Amino acid sequence: MDYKDYYKIMGLDRSASAEEIKKAYRKLARKYHPDVSKEANAEEKFKEVGEAYEVLKDPTKRAQYDQYGEYWKSQGQQEQAYNPHGSQQQYQHFDGGDMSGFQDFINSIFGQRYQQQHQSQHKSRASSYFDQGQDIHAKLTISLEDSFTGAEKTLQLQTPSVDQQGNQHHQTRAIKVKIPQGIADQQQIRLKGQGVKIHGGSPGDLYIEIHIAPHPYFHLQNKDIHLKCPILPWEAMLGGTIQIPTLGGTVNLKIPANTQAGKQMRLKGRGLPGSPAGDQFVLFDIVNPPTSNEAMHKLYEQMASLNEYNPRDKLGVHQHG
């Protein structure tokens, strides 16, 4: 579901008072009411204004909306999941009391002449809108390997439901989620019809935002995998073939002679699957082994005596003999 800026919809600043919110709603409801408005898409805009007003007039919902933005609904759902006996106001829902107040408010704007003339029409139209299911937003953390191979996870959700009488109940559901190969970090999965059902109407949808957990040595960037690989000084100098881990298993990689620290090599198609697939980039880091024996120490001394290269020459520093 796209994020809706309720303040922009109502033409308000975020610091608007409760009276300013009410005044703006009266003006817009009169402007877009389907019975009197000649504006294009009047009924759609009327519903949108009503949705914005239902949130901004409620201090609890407005505080959550101001704090969490597009994730304000999912934050309320998550808090309820951790605190099943908490306030039911953490969910946005419309019950019989809400509808009564909404109708009274409309009557106060347009007068009683509309109350009887269009009562049946209003009820049908309002019920059609407010009986729509509510979408749920949740987050699910997976491993990098799960994204590479695909997986099936079970998500535990505690969600509200509203019956025909407007009573709200909560139920815990275990939902199986199929993780597609190559899913990216913060990408969403939509499960149609797995949201909240209100007054027996069609249920909303469940939107799951995937988060990929940090890996011990791989770093994910879009669909590419980055690996910092340590090599020994003689491997860097002489070159050779070494084994490199990838998400698809170990592969052999040929290092060219005289490889410098910071050199990067690419393994095409070894990143996350996709069209096209990502790549794996290997960044070399030269590390010195501990000189724990005398023979190795003497070899380093011999190398030092034979070496004429000064790596600090460009810094204006002379090599000591």
Tens-place pLDDT, residues 27-56: 888 888 877 777 888 888 888 889 889 889
d(CA 233, CA 239): 10
> At 284, which amino acid appears?
F
Q: Spell out the residues 6+ positions from residue 89 whose beta carbon is closer than 8 angstroms to its own.
A: 58, 60, 61
* pLDDT tens across the length of the chain (321 residues): 456 888 899 999 888 899 999 999 988 888 888 777 778 888 888 888 898 898 899 888 887 777 666 666 655 554 444 444 333 333 333 333 344 445 555 555 555 544 554 454 444 444 444 455 678 888 999 999 999 999 999 988 877 666 666 666 677 889 899 999 999 999 999 998 888 776 667 788 889 999 999 999 999 999 999 999 999 999 999 999 999 999 999 999 999 999 999 999 999 999 999 989 999 999 999 998 886 788 888 888 898 889 888 888 888 776 655
Would you say how long the chain is, in residues?
A: 321
d(CA 263, CA 267): 14
Query: What is the domain partition of the chain in residue ranges?
Result: 1-57+94-131, 218-315
3-state secondary structure of 305: helix
- The beta-carbon contacts of 58-64 under 8 Å, at least 24 apart in sequence, are 58/89, 60/87, 60/89, 60/90, 61/89, 61/92, 64/90
pTM: 0.55
pLDDT for 171-180, tens place per residue? 788 989 999 9
Question: Reduced to 3 DSSP states, what percent helix, strand and coil does the chain have, rounded to the nearest 5?
Answer: 40, 25, 35
Give the right CATH number for 218-315 from 3.50.50.60, 1.10.8.590, 2.60.260.20, 3.40.50.970: 2.60.260.20
Is 206 buried (19+), middle (13-18) or exposed (0-12) by CB count in 10 A? buried
CATH architecture of 1-57+94-131: Orthogonal Bundle (1.10)
d(CA 92, CA 6): 14
Token code pair at residue 263 = 């050199």
- 98 φ/ψ angles, rounded to the nearest 5 degrees: -60, -45
DSSP of 136-197: EEEEEEE-HHHHHH-EEEEEEEEEEEE-TTS-EEEEEEEEEEEE-TTPPTT-EEEETT-SB-
> At 269, which amino acid appears?
G
Residue 118 DSSP symbol = T
Identify the residue whose tokens are 């910092």: 228
